[in-house]
Structures are given as structure tokens and as C-alpha cells.
Amino acid sequence: MGFEKQITIDASGHLLGRLASTVAKSILSGQRIVVVRCEQINISGNFYRNKLKYLDFLRKRMNTKPSRGPFHFRAPSKIFWRTVRGMVPHKTKRGMEAMNRLKVFDGVPPPYDKVKRMVVPSALRVIRLKPGRRFCVLGRLSHEVGWKYKVCYYD
């Protein structure tokens, strides 16, 4: 295959769903992808609406034994990971292998701070959203629903 060894994507300023769909297509075709700075991903729509939607999702649980799932991730990287998983046939062998080709991080951990980071122009908020449209940042949303490590990434 004619793929690069690994593509590192800087997720700051990208829209959640648009970036996730691009990443899902790439990992299904065999490309290894690392996504950094997930806490700075944008979601279209105002903050209050997105928070209500996520709180509705937090209420979903199994009646008989809630510890069996569904699991509700609070970290921005895991929210992005789950968004990508929803776009991949993750219960098949092909989908599992594709998900193994994806790595997601909050912030920029040491091996990737010296690597060239790419952007996905088709998923950038400044290109895709009209100038007056509201959006919220995934790091703030995560913090409001229970992510405890916002102070580590926002100095």
C-alpha cells in the first residue's frame, strides 16, 4: 500500500464529526493515524445545547446491571475515539483492526511533540462553519460533565 507510516493530526480547531469521518475512512483503508490535542476539538451548536445532549447520553444505562454498559467517557480523547468507533464496523475483524490503527491523545505527549502535525482542511471550523455560528470546545464540555484533568491541559 502507498501509505505513510503514520499521520499525526493536530485536532485543535477541527469539527468533531467531520474530523471523525475523515479519520474513520483513513483507518479503514489501512492508514495509521495519531490524533493529538483532542481537548481543543470544536462542536457546532452552542455550549448549552451540546451539554444537554451529552447529559441525556449520560442517563442511558442498563437497568439490571449498569456496570455492563454503555460506558460514558468523559475525556475529550475518548469522546473522539468513540465518535470514530461509531463510524467504523467495530464488531467485525476489519473494524477491530482499523480501531487498533488509531491513537488519540489529550495534549501532545512526548513522542509526538517533535513530529510534523497535519490539519484536515475539510474539517476545519473556520472553513466549514459560517462566521456567526456558535460552537463549543470539547475540553470545556468534558470538564462540565466530569473530566477532572482540564487544568493539566489549560495553563
Domains and CATH numbers, the chain: 7-145 (3.90.1180.10)
Q: How far is CA 132 from CA 44, 123, 136, in A?
A: 11, 17, 13
pTM score, two decimals?
0.93
Per-residue pLDDT tens digits for 53-62: 999 998 999 9
The predicted pLDDT at position 69 comes to 87
The larger pLDDT score, comparing residue 58 to residue 94, is at 94
Whole-angstrom Cα distance, residue 4 to residue 2?
7
Packing angle, helices 16-28 and 93-100, rounded to 10: 110
The predicted pLDDT at position 6 comes to 94
Contact 32, 5 (CB under 8 A): yes
Per-residue pLDDT tens digits for 18-45: 999 999 999 999 999 999 999 999 999 9
Round the average pLDDT of the chain to a whole number and report it: 94
Q: Which helix (H) or strand (E) holds 43?
A: strand 42-44
Per-residue pLDDT tens digits for 70-79: 999 999 999 9
Whole-angstrom Cα distance, residue 128 to residue 34?
23
